[in-house]
Amino acid sequence: MASISGKETKPEISVRKRLFALGFRYRKNVKSLPGKPDIVLPKHQTVILIHGCFWHGHHCKKATRPTSNIKFWNSKIESNIHRDKDVLKRLKKEGWKVITVWECELNTIKKIDKALKKITSRLIVK
């Protein structure tokens, strides 16, 4: 598990490439912000969090918990969920808009396009 990286995941790269193609410029994993958000769009005062369903306790098929070492995994994932809530609260308190995209929302081209519409609709002020 130590070899699993929290940065440069396929879902993050997929979203970033599409945002860049649409003309949005961003920063990656900004250390000065709570939780080091995956994508930061300073011009729009928005951060995008790309959450892995398993690691962040989403309620979908990808998030099934292991049947061995149950106590450890439940504690680990509950801790991640608690930290996510804290990070979300701190980012909003600092004036950032937060968009959370789940890994399961990015597993097909059609779903990626739908997620990008969700993101861009919140970025483009009408």
Q: Give backbone dihedrals phi and psi of 26, rounded to 5 degrees, phi first.
A: -145, 170
pLDDT for the residue numbered 6:
61
What are the pLDDT digits (tens) for 89-123? 999 999 999 999 999 999 888 888 888 888 888 88
The pLDDT score that the predictor gives to residue 8 is 80
Query: What mean pLDDT is reported for the chain?
Result: 89
Tell me whether strands 97-102 and 27-28 are parallel, antiparallel or unpaired.
unpaired
Cβ–Cβ < 8 Å for 119, 18: no
Per-residue confidence (pLDDT) for residue 5, from 0 to 100 = 54
d(CA 34, CA 14): 23
DSSP letter, residue 9 = -
For residue 28, report the phi and psi dihedrals to the nearest 5 degrees. Answer: -105, 140
- What was the pLDDT predicted at 46? 95
Residue type for 21, please? A
Q: Which CATH class is domain 10-118?
A: alpha beta
Please give the pLDDT value at position 126. 46
